[in-house]
């Protein structure tokens, strides 16, 4: 049996992929966005910000967000998959630690930016594709804002600070200045109590507390940042980034959109199709009276009028006779309706059966 010729498309595919990514290195490489300068978390007069021990640090990371990129320098067209595996870079650590920084009370936006840049540069090692992905990760790290005020004017500087501002507001709380030191120690005790109880005495106090403050006095935010980064596998909750709602095209000046016009055209087509079809015979009324019902009502009304006239004329014998005729008329009508309802059920005309049932209920009151 003749062997099948080797298919060239896998190699061609990866060569095309390489051709797309290599130019990107020269096109985007070298761009170094400046650090955003965001306002610090502030407290009322007489109070000072301290870390909130109840805050759960969280991050979207970037492990599954296109951040595992491969170095084109390692690309081998003869073994494309092997080259990709060999050069794969993972910037997830940088993304998580960036979010830890933003959620550490007292850190600055510049410090968080510079830390992420230092981490990504260390991993990318000059690979400009990797650096581009790091830059895009920083830009796209914010979740979709479902509480955004559509009337608010877009402010690019405020957008850059949105994640930092939110992180600080969640991670900080205000306490009286005289209670700040004890509140900071309480925060540290809570952290060790969750993630490293060996740092606490049996009574729950911090071991070598004087040495701790000797090393970190005046650098408390950096201390909590270092601790959260060290224990990030336990201290950080990785969340899935929500997706924005589907795009809706804007209305034009006339108040209609393309989707509105398409819907109108579809409705018009449907109407034309319905008009072209022959009219079906009208179904039996689902409510109201049919011809036999109306005939009964006319007879009953006539008898009621005659009975009232006889009573007015004090012809009570005639009035009593008419009363009997009306009762017999009603009895006959009820029998007719019951038989008709049974036939409607047998014919599976349930709407008509329901109408008759409702009419019987009124007549039998």
Q: Report the distance separating Cα 288 and Cα 286, nearest Å.
A: 7
Q: Report the distance separating Cα 362 and Cα 298, nearest Å.
A: 16
- Listed residue (213, 142, 174, 160) closest to 37, CA to CA: 160
pLDDT at 277: 47
pLDDT at 166: 93
pTM, full prediction: 0.56
Q: Which two tokens stand for residue 131?
A: 């650096």
Q: Which two tokens stand for residue 86?
A: 């060999």
pLDDT at 159: 80
Whether 51 and 235 have beta carbons less than 8 Å apart is answered as no
- Listed residue (116, 68, 118) closest to 95, CA to CA: 116
Q: Report the distance separating Cα 341 and Cα 348, nearest Å.
A: 10
Whether 130 and 71 have beta carbons less than 8 Å apart is answered as yes
Q: pLDDT, tens digit, for every residue of 79-89?
A: 544 444 445 57
pLDDT at 265: 56
Q: Report the distance separating Cα 145 and Cα 163, nearest Å.
A: 10
pLDDT at 69: 45
Q: Which two tokens stand for residue 340?
A: 């008709």
- Listed residue (286, 288, 293) closest to 354, CA to CA: 286
Residues in a beta bridge with 174 = 49
- The DSSP result for 76-112, as a single string, is -TTSHHHHHHHTEE--HHHHHHHHHHHTSTT--HHHH
Which residue's structure tokens are 């009306």? 326
The CA distances from residue 150 to 143, 256, 332, 349, in Å, are 16, 19, 69, 53
pLDDT at 273: 52
Burial tier of 167 (Cβ tally within 10 Å: 0-12, 13-18, 19+): buried
Residues in a beta bridge with 50 = 173
What per-residue string of b and e applies to 3-30 under the rule 16 or more CB within 10 Å gives b? eeeeeeeeeeebeeeeeebeeebeeeee
Provide the 8-state DSSP code for 58.
Answer: E
What is the helix, strand, coil percentage profile of the chain, to 5? 60, 5, 35
- The residues near 110 (Cβ < 8 Å, ≥ 6 apart) are 35, 36, 37
- How far the first Cα of the chain sits from its last, in Å, is 91
Low-confidence ranges of the chain (pLDDT < 50): 1-29, 65-71, 80-86, 257-258, 274, 276-287
Which residue's structure tokens are 């608010």? 152
């Amino acid at each position: 049996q003749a062997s099948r010729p080797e298919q060239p498309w896998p190699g061609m595919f990866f060569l095309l992929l390489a051709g797309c990514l290599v130019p990107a290195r020269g096109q985007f490489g070298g761009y170094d966005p400046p650090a955003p300068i965001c306002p610090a978390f502030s407290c009322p007069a007489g109070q000072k910000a301290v870390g909130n021990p109840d805050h759960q640090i969280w991050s979207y990371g970037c492990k599954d967000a296109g951040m595992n990129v491969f170095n084109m320098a390692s690309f081998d067209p003869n073994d494309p998959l092997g080259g990709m595996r060999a050069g794969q870079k993972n910037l997830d650590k940088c993304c998580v630690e960036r979010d830890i920084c933003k959620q550490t009370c007292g850190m600055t936006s510049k410090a968080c930016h510079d830390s992420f840049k230092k981490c990504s540069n260390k991993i990318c090692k000059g690979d400009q594709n990797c650096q581009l992905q790091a830059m895009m990760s920083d830009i796209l790290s914010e979740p979709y804002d479902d509480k955004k005020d559509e009337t608010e004017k877009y402010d690019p500087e405020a957008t850059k600070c949105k994640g930092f501002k939110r992180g600080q507001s969640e991670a900080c709380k205000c306490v009286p200045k005289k209670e700040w030191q004890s509140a900071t120690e309480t925060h540290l005790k809570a952290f060790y109590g969750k993630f490293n109880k060996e740092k606490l005495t049996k009574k729950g106090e911090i071991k070598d507390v004087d040495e701790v403050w000797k090393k970190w006095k005046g650098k408390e935010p950096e201390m909590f940042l270092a601790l959260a980064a060290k224990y990030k596998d336990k201290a950080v909750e990785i969340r899935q980034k929500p997706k924005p709602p589907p795009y809706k095209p804007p209305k034009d000046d006339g108040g209609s959109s393309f989707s509105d016009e398409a819907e109108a055209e579809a409705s018009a087509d449907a109407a034309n199709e319905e008009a072209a079809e022959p009219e079906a015979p009208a179904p039996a009324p689902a409510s109201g009276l049919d011809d036999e019902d109306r005939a009964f009502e006319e007879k009953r009304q006539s008898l009621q009028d005659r009975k009232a006239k006889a009573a007015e004329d004090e012809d009570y014998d005639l009035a009593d006779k008419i009363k009997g005729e009306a009762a017999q008329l009603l009895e006959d009508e009820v029998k007719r309706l019951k038989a008709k309802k049974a036939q409607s059920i047998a014919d599976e005309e349930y709407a008509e059966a329901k109408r008759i049932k409702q009419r019987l209920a009124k007549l039998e009151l």
